[in-house]
Structure 1
Amino acid sequence: MESLNPSDLVDRLGSDEDAVRKMAAFKLQGSIGDPSFADMFIAEGGLSRLRYLTLSTTGNTLAYSLTSFARLLEVDKGWEFVDEEVVERIVHLIVTHPLVNILRGAMSMLVSIVSHPHNNSNRMSQQQYGDENGFRALRPAIANHPQFLEMLVSRLSSADHALCANALQLINSLMRDAITNGQESEWPKFIKRLQDLGVIRAVYILMQGSALQDHAHPLIEFQSLTKLLLRKWKNVAVDLEKPDHRRALKGIHLASNPEKKSADGCSSSEHGAGEDNNVRKSRRHNPEKWRRLGFQTESPAPEFYEMGFLGMMDLTDYVRKHQDEFQKMLLEHSTKPAEQRCPIARASLAITSVLYEHFEVEKSATDDAKNYLALESRSNFDKVFKPLLLHWSRIHVAALNAFFRLWKTTSAEVEDFDKIVELVRILVESVVGGAPRTKDVQDVEEELDDFEYQRLRELQMELLELTYEDAWGQHLRQVRDELQHEALQFVKEQRVRCLLQGAWFPSEITMTTTTKTDDSIKPDVTTTTKSQGYKYVQLSHNRRYLHFSEFAAVQENAPALDTLTSKIDLSTVSSVVSNVSASSDSSSGSTIKTAPASQPPPSSSSSPSTKITIHGYAPAASPSAGHKPSEREERSSHKRSGSKTTQREIPLLTLRPQTHSIASEWLDGLLMLLNQQPITAETTKLVNLISNYGLKIRLLNVRFDDAAFVGETPEIPSREGLDEDYYYDVFGGA
């Protein structure tokens, strides 16, 4: 890019030919943002010519001049040439001019003018620009163009994204200046006027739109300003000496459709809320004037202390827009005892507090910088932007109606107030907090209205578990792991003791008989018969061998271990296989496959369907008699016997348990002896039962105040009037 000579550029700006001035203004807008270039441009007298072009030219020359002037103001230079005439010209352009490129520059200039702080040391600025700054500097021009704000809000729906962003940026500057520097009686009127013109709806549409990247920064600033407004309204204390506060409270009372005559014949509407004597008179003639509306006392002003004028605004808005429902509810609850009446005013203030905490209004000032950084990634848009915040009033009404519905559904009383508020808080977190950026506010209102109480209770229980997990999480996980290991070792010992005790298992005994015939023509006759027998199996005391023998019938007394003729060395066992399969309805994921319940139990003619097979490695083939193996053969034989991967598995013993319990004991007992995990549902359930029981015992020694409870510590129940006639059901919760 060629270097520009400021002196030459200033000369061209003063040329009589429009084409020369236009080219000079075009080049100026690309360089004037450099402070060093701006200083040289001003030193050459370029400001006066730039101001002249701003006031007198049209078309592209005007557009380039406005952009150059706006960029000069952005580097905080040229303020001495910003006067009422310049402001009037810019406001006139915004109201009347259709060209987008001119409107962009004009709005950028106004943003700088409104945002420029008043500097008492700048004498030239005071002489030319006057003592007014910010929004007040625009008042004379806006007075001549009353449609200025309306036209500005309409630009928010422009198809040109840059113009739309500039318009919103200017609105933000006007709002911030009005809130920060405006008088207490002025800024609420200005904000209300913007809202009446539809600025909330327009920004809401932009925040839900697809072109969010182009509007991101002014949108996040508008969201921050909305929180600033909420904080400012909250910090305004309700004072009945102020006429607007007194009118708002009186409007709430009149909207309740109070009785026309009190007990002494005086009109209840005549009792005002302003002066002390009126308040005393109202108390004397209508003792429940304010309590019937849901206030706790007959002096309602102090009850707005926490949420300030914001709480009064929300209550007033609900009463004004839903007057019929308000009166109907008051009429219904007037027939109920005092403790069963829903405190409407108190509930409204509580919902305001819930929303205030949910949207983290107090944190906005410190989080602005983080939000701007988060805007660099499109994936953070849904986290940063909260369009529902703009519809604060509608969300408040929807949440308040949910409070009323929960109060009625649960048959709550006044002492249950905090519990209902907590349920609404969970509801807001779930519905409002879980709503995506593009979800319409009407859908959120419907979801708040249709949310089922049972589902809400489930959410509450889940959050309660998370609260305990947060408070005790590390300690609970450590205790659970320890107890799980201890329970597993305990169950292992119990299962192994079952094997040490021994058990009978049905088995089939096959007998083959060969009968020789005298006739040489006919072959010998071989017959095979099967008879039901029983097998007794017992683990040796040293837990190294499994002894067993076949018997024709179950004996009354268990046979002695040394009388059992067969045994299996457990070191040779390779695996234990059973027809155990996964079960979809088992919490542990596995159970024992057995015959259907409709089938009869095992008898002499049928064997159990559950089978446990113990596999082992076949011994190496012994050399033939009289053959002495060579040294090479011995080494090869030893190598084969030492490698289990080359040995062949064969079934060593088959067991047919007759019940679920025996099958679980022997299958998992054998697996545990082989240092494997148990697989049956019965064993898993027993391990969990023991570990959970141990956890309950541990927790019995934990006091309520040992955890980080939020709010008040639960009161420990008194044992006054109790005796020792009680019991504890250990397995009741399993």
Structure 2
Amino acid sequence: MSSHTNGPGDALRSRAAANGASSKTLIPTNSVTTKDGVVKVRIDPTLMVADVVKQLVANLQIKQPPSNFALRDDDDELVTNENLRRMIRSKAKLKLVNSAAVEAQEIYEKLQLREEKSYRLALFSLQRYLREEDFANEFLKRDGVHVLVDVITTSHGNTLAYALTAMKNLMDLEYGWATLDSSFIFRVVQIIAAPQSLINVCRPATAILKRLVEADPASAPGPLVASSSRAPPVAPPGSVYRYGFDVVFEEMRKEPGLLETVVSRLGTADTALVLNSVMLINSLLAHATDTWWEVFISQLERLNTRKAIIRLMSSHTVEDLTSCVLDFQGNIARVIYRKKTTLVEPDVEETHATALDYIWTNSRLQVETAPDGATLKWRQLGFASENLSHEFTEVGILGLDCLKHFVQSDPDFFSKVVQEQNSRSPQRRCPLARASNEVVELLSEYWDATSPVFQPFFLNFYKVHALATNFFLQMWNESGAAIGDFSRVIALVRSQVKVALRQEHLRPWHEMEQDFSECEYRGVRDRQMKELEDEDDLPSKIPVRNLRAKLYKESKEFVRQQRIHCLLQGSWFLNAVPISAPTSRRLARQWRFMRLDNSLKHLHYVDSQSKFPVRSGLEDLPEHFDLALITEIATANCAPPSDGSVSAGAAPLVASPLSFSLITPEGSLADAIAPDVSRWADWTDGLNMLRRDSGHVASKETADFIQALTEIGLKIKLLDLSGDKVEIPSGLAAGPPPTNNDFFFSDLYDPQ
């Protein structure tokens, strides 16, 4: 049909005409391409898309029912009731195309026929269409998941890449793929583990495995069903939240090289593949269960995963990976805490007994007997008793691991030290094992809070522990300390830890090493004395440290709710240009207003050439995107748009410190510049805290806010105690256990 302004256009603008409006002046003209040509139409923005399609089909005298058709723009974006007004305002070129039901049926049939040319084209289209919920629902109705699994099972190369990407996009839905079984999971594991797999195959496969790990019953939205009073909850029948860590790890164990391959890919040049690999490791860390936790963590340690992440911290690609690296850092903090609170039980756990045997063997000491006939073995290494479960009570298996790594770093040095100390009188011996545990406590205290910056020294916890333990030994020897001076030497180490580990995101490793190794007792002691003039030992007491940790969690949750409230209110931002974009790039609309919906799942927005009062609710915000798509909140990576006057030889764009981008594997959903630092912190941290696989604090502003709230709360609590003149002990000794179980805990109540 040739272009014209009558016929279909008149019919589509009839409602506006009936209302007395001048459609020619108020309603822009859109072109609609059909199989017969192009027509010019004026679309009433108050119509629903279904009504627009119905009138087009009627006026073009198409004999098929309107339900067979839909509208898309030149970029193949589906026209919906939410974006119709934007399409009309921008005079988008539209196409009358197959509806979701028709398109799903055609693709389904092509996938079953397996005719080479149409088969690959159908898979290519399927990747894009499955991002649309209407199409995905139609595809699921036709048992499309089964067909897609069959393609993934039998394909390779680019065909496999298309199929895996389609499955990944389908799995963004919270339903429809609960039929995936263990054989499919193992197939994905095999694809990832194969060193020869193409990059475009590995990316979606890794993302699929990550999604399966996160789909555990405990993560399911809504109420859970408990299988018994003691068993963990299970998801309702038909829910996709029926997988999780245990299900995936069982299949991973069948392919021993999987984790090694994933970790090795952290060093590849492809940023998207590195991103997916880090995200998979993070999901495994965050969802690991008690069943396989120790096995999994041991594998990650054996593969030097932390070292690979440290390399990423200094990589040129780190801007795209900041959030994931910080997530990994937070996960390792949780691993450290769990190890610290897990008891050492050599009589129960074989791994604990093996580690202790290794330490003792490398000491090259002989078991001695005390004058009273008691066995002297572990006290020769510096423990206070032979009861190792008690000796490691405060530091758990983290303390055992640190001592083992200390020995491993230089077995000959360890043997020399303990033998030299045992040649001295008991009062002059350095209690090396006890010192090791105290250093673990010091480092755990120093790295107590979540950091918004990289902490490469923290990821090297064992090496820093070895340096600090050697520093303790040096201070002991240089000061001529005796056993009664133990706490004094520990105080010196605490002071030096603060100096050596300062600004670790900016300082190289060798400078930190020098701070521990190239210092003298007198200088450290003089500095410590000045520090003691300004503070007392109250903050270092264990009850106060525990109170601070509790208040920190409460403060972080308070700030999280405040940040989310800011997102629910919404804000205007300047649309920005990534610094990698051409300097002459201009933006059609300068401003964007964004607001989070009440479900906390979608971010709604509107672009405009100028700011205008936005009403509450979402009526003024026709566009939206799913927060589940976001894999990274990149910061300080965009610049204000050009005014179009930039010459070819102009300087490159300079990133604004208030800019941020919402990154997905397919690109950026938004590039914005906040009006001020507070708004930037509210949105970057708020969005990070909403992500399914995150929760870290990214900005110094938010981290300082949380810390300030924590310190204020701590001071208020301590003022209450000091006002009542309550003595705070340095530690509490547990009493003997009950002789039987004939007791109960009474309820505490207020007699008033």
Q: Which TM-score band applies after superposition, normalised by the shorter structure?
A: 0.5 to 0.7
CA contact (8 A) 2:215 2:243 kept: no
| Aligned: 1:111 with 2:207 | no
Q: Which residue among 245, 248, 253 is the counterpart of 2:355?
A: 248
Q: Distance in 1 between matches of 2:169 and 2:375?
A: 66
Q: Is the 8 A contact 1:237 1:309 kept in 2?
A: yes
* CA deviations over 1:304-348 (Å, ceiling 9, x no partner): 111112112212222344332233223333343322211111100
Aligned 8 A contact 1:431 1:447 in 2:
yes
Separation of aligned partners in 2, 1:222 and 1:56: 34
Matches within 5 A, 1:570-649: none
Name the residue aligned to 2:201. 102
Give the deviation of 1:162 after TM superposition. 0.5
**Residue 12 (structure 1) aligned with residue 81 (structure 2):** no
Deviations 1:517-547 (A, max 9, x none): xxxxxxxxxxxxxxxxxxxxxxxxxxxxxxx
Q: Distance in 2 between matches of 1:709 and 1:19?
A: 81
Query: Which has the larger helix fraction?
Result: 1
| Residue deviations 1:339-362 (CA, integer Å, cap 9, x gap) | 2211111100000001111111xx
What letter is aligned with 1:113? L
Q: CA deviation at 1:393?
A: 0.9
Retained in 2: the 8 A contact 1:208–1:438?
Answer: no
Deviation at 1:125, TM superposition (A): 6.9
Q: Which residue of 1 aligns with 2:313?
A: 207
1:318 to 1:469, Cα distance in 2 relative to 1, 3 A: closer
Cα distance in 1 for partners of 2:156, 2:353 equals 53
Counterparts of residues 494-643 of structure 1 (less than 5 Å): none
| Distance in 1 separating the partners of 2:144 and 2:329 | 39
- Structure 1 pair 60/253, CA: closer, same or farther in 2 (3 Å)? closer
Give 2:441's aligned amino acid: S
Contact kept, 8 Å, 1:55 with 1:86, in 2: the verdict is: yes
Name structure 1 gaps, 5 residues minimum.
Answer: 264-281, 365-370, 372-382, 472-704, 714-734
- Equivalent position of 2:487 in the other structure: 418
Cα distance change on mapping 1:38 and 1:237 into 2, 3 Å: same
Q: State the alpha-carbon separation in 2 of the partners of residues 92 and 468 from structure 1.
A: 58
Per the TM alignment, residue 182 of structure 1 is displaced from its structure 2 partner at its CA by 3.5
Q: Which of 80, 84, 109 is the equivalent residue of 2:182?
A: 84
In structure 1, the partner of 2:579 is none
Specify the code of the residue in structure 1 equivalent to 2:100.
P
Shift of residue 237, structure 1, vs aligned partner? 1.1
Distance 1:134 1:469 in 2: 43
Return the offset for 1:395: 0.7
Distance 1:233 1:173 in 2: 19
Report the secondary structure of 1:80's partner residue: coil
Q: Secondary structure at the match of 2:321?
A: helix
> What is the rounded CA distance, in whole Å, between the counterparts of 2:154 and 2:375 in structure 1?
71
- The structure-2 alpha-carbon separation of the partners of 1:406 and 1:338, relative to structure 1 and needing over 3 Å to count, comes to same
Distance across 2 between alignment mates of 1:61 and 1:257: 61
1:290 is matched with 378
Q: How does 1:254-653 map to 2 (within 5 A)?
A: 254-259=361-366, 285=373, 287-360=375-448, 363-364=449-450, 383-437=452-506, 439-440=508-509, 442-467=510-535
Letter in 2 for 1:409: E
> Secondary structure of 2:171's partner?
helix
Deviation per residue, 1:486-535 (Å, 9 max, x gap):
xxxxxxxxxxxxxxxxxxxxxxxxxxxxxxxxxxxxxxxxxxxxxxxxxx
CA distance 1:124–1:470, shift in 2 (3 Å) = closer
Pick one of 145, 158, 175 that aligns with 1:47: 145
Give the deviation of 1:45 after TM superposition.
4.0
- Asked if 1:166 is matched to 2:276, the reply is yes
- What's the CA shift for 1:221? 1.9
Residue identity matched to 1:303: E
2: distance between equivalents of 1:5 and 1:458? 79
- Report the more deviating stretch, 346-355 or 117-126: 117-126
Once the 2 structures are TM-superposed, how far is the Cα of residue 712 of structure 1 from its aligned partner? 7.0
Measured after TM superposition, the shift of residue 438 of structure 1 is 5.8
SS at the partner of 1:313? helix
Give the Cα separation in 2 of the matches to 1:200 and 1:75.
Answer: 32
Judging changes above 3 Å, is the alpha-carbon distance between structure 1 residues 14 and 157 closer, same or farther for their aligned structure 2 residues? Answer: farther
Question: Could you tell me whether the CA contact under 8 Å between 2:344 and 2:388 is conserved in 1?
Answer: no
Residue aligning to 2:128: 30
C-alpha deviation, 1:465, in angstroms: 4.1
- Equivalent residue, structure 2, for 1:233: 339
**Alpha-carbon distance in structure 2 between the residues aligned to 1:412 and 1:707:** 38
The change in CA–CA distance for 1:99 and 1:444 in structure 2 (over 3 A counts) is same
**Inter-partner Cα distance in structure 2 for 1:223 and 1:171:** 11
Q: Which amino acid aligns with 1:102?
A: V
Q: Distance in 2 between matches of 1:460 and 1:709?
A: 28
Larger Rg, first or second structure (1 or 2): 1
Task: Identify the residue that residue 134 of structure 1 maps to in structure 2.
Answer: 245
Deviation at 1:34, TM superposition (A): 4.3
Aligned length: 433
Letter of the structure 1 residue corresponding to residue 158 of structure 2: N
Maintained 8 Å contact 2:216/2:243: no
Mapped contact 2:107–2:126 kept (Cα < 8 A): no
1:82–1:321: structure 2 CA closer, same or farther, 3 Å change rule?
Answer: same
Which deviates the most, 282-291 or 37-46? 282-291
The worse-fitting range, judged by mean Cα deviation, of 242-251 and 334-343 is: 242-251
State the alpha-carbon separation in 2 of the partners of residues 330 and 140 from structure 1.
Answer: 45
Q: Indicate the larger mover: 208-217 or 319-328.
A: 319-328
- Percent of aligned pairs with the same amino acid: 28
Shift of 1:408: 1.0
Q: Kindly tell me: are residues 469 and 446 of structure 1, through their superposed partners in 2, closer, same or farther at Cα, counting changes over 3 Å?
A: closer
Residue 73 of structure 1 pairs with residue 171 of structure 2: yes
Structure 1 vs Structure 2 CA RMSD: 3.3
The answer for unaligned runs of 5 or more in structure 2 is: 1-72, 79-97, 221-233, 540-721, 731-752
- Report deviation, 1:454: 3.6
User: 1:200 corresponds to which letter in structure 2?
Assistant: R
Write the deviation string for residues 621-679 of structure 1: whole angstroms up to 9, x where unpaired. xxxxxxxxxxxxxxxxxxxxxxxxxxxxxxxxxxxxxxxxxxxxxxxxxxxxxxxxxxx
Is the 8 Å Cα contact of residues 332 and 459 (structure 2) preserved in structure 1?
Answer: yes
Q: What TM-score, normalized by structure 2, do the two folds share?
A: 0.53
Shift of 1:124: 5.2
| C-alpha separation in 2, matches of 1:327 and 1:51 | 58
The answer to whether the 8 A contact 1:13-1:21 is kept is: no
Q: Deviations over 1:95-152 (max 9, x none)?
A: 33432111111111111112211474554579xx9x8642433534652x33222222
Q: Distance in 2 between matches of 1:438 and 1:7?
A: 58
1:172-197 C-alpha deviation (Å, 9 max, x unpaired) = 2233333xx242xx422322222222
